Amino acid sequence: PKLLLLGPPGAGKGTQSSNLVERFGVEHVTTGDALRSNKGMDISDLGLEYDTPGEYMDAGELVPDAVVNEIVKTALEEADGFVLDGYPRNLDQAEYLDSITDLDVVASLSVSRDELVGRLTGRRVCSDCGTNYHVEFDQPEEEGVCDECGSDLVQRDDDTEETVRERLRVFDENTQPVIDFYDEQGELVEIDGEGTPDEVWANLEAAVEERL
Ligand code: AP5
Ligand code: ZN
């Protein structure tokens, strides 16, 4: 199946995408991870504000559409079924997506603002395998060490309080209109993202199954 998972920063898109991958055998297509692996790429030929994706990301701003659209196009060409996470983030990207593929399910996770800030500023990620933890909600067995691979846990560069506020502002301005757009088309399934990860997953799994 072709699945799209929308939601603000910290809503649990990455966490729930892993469940979708396991349950439906789809490919995880995430622009955030793809860009983090290419933070230093030279995009100065675009002549825009910054010369690398990393500079946009550390400021909490959107990386230019030309860069992101290309990543998604290539990834979707290679994937049979997928869950798309972190894209589209503005209406132009949504229009581009519509021109290259169709979707079976569009779901969005909704979470209150205070909860989002707490999740993001408390998130820790494995410096090697990328597994997510949280200082309160999802602690590793040994403090600061990844359960999966034993590497150090670090804070993502864009998870500081100041950058988190900016990411949420950018979400309100650019990405909320995308969610409203799918809603107006009657395509959107809204999932309460506030329970435990297992509770959220139970609702999401049922909603996806019902629509396939
Ligand atoms: P990206 O990597 O996509 O970040 P994001 O959208 O801000 O989302 P996050 O990864 O922060 O959160 P998430 O919803 O996946 O939540 P998670 O499961 O990790 O983008 C980063 C940057 O890249 C952007 O700012 C932009 O610069 C650039 N970019 C990316 N895509 C782009 C695009 N399309 N166009 C332009 N630029 C783009 O969970 C968060 C935390 O909460 C974790 O610690 C987790 O353990 C915990 N948690 C999860 N679920 C629960 C729960 N139910 N209860 C309690 N805690 C929970
Ligand atoms: Zn690890």
The count of domains in the chain is: 1
Q: Which of 111, 140, 108 is nearest to 123 (CA)?
A: 140
Boundaries of domain holding 12: 2-112+172-211
Name beta bridge partners: 4: 84, 106
Residue 136 belongs to a domain: no
- The pLDDT of 92-97, averaged and rounded, is 98
* 62: Cα separation from own chain's centroid: 13
Alpha carbon nearest to ligand 1 atom 44, residue: 123
Residue 147 covered by a domain? no
Residue to mutate, 29, 67, 134, ligand 1, most ligand atoms under 8 Å from C-beta: 134
Domain membership of residue 139 (yes or no) is: no
Interval 22-62: pLDDT, tens:
999 999 999 999 999 999 999 999 999 999 999 999 999 99
Please indicate, yes or no, if residue 38 is contained in any of the structural domains: yes
> Does ligand 1 come within 6 angstroms of the Cβ of 182?
no
Q: Ligand 1: does its nearest atom lie under 6 Å from the Cβ of 54?
A: no
Q: Is 167 among the residues known to form the active site?
A: yes
Q: Examine residue 32 and state whether it is found in any structural domain, yes or no.
A: yes
Inter-CA distances, 105 with 80, 108, 154, 190, Å: 15, 10, 34, 11
Cα(45)–Cα(146) distance, integer angstroms: 38
Give the whole-number percent of the chain exceeding pLDDT 90: 98
CATH number of the domain to which 54 belongs: 3.40.50.300
Q: What is the mean pLDDT of the chain?
A: 96
Cβ of 28 closer than 6 Å to ligand 1, yes or no, is no
pTM of the model: 0.95
Does any domain span residue 177? yes
Residue 18 lies in a domain: yes
Task: Give the confidence band of 108 by pLDDT, cuts at 50, 70, 90.
Answer: very high
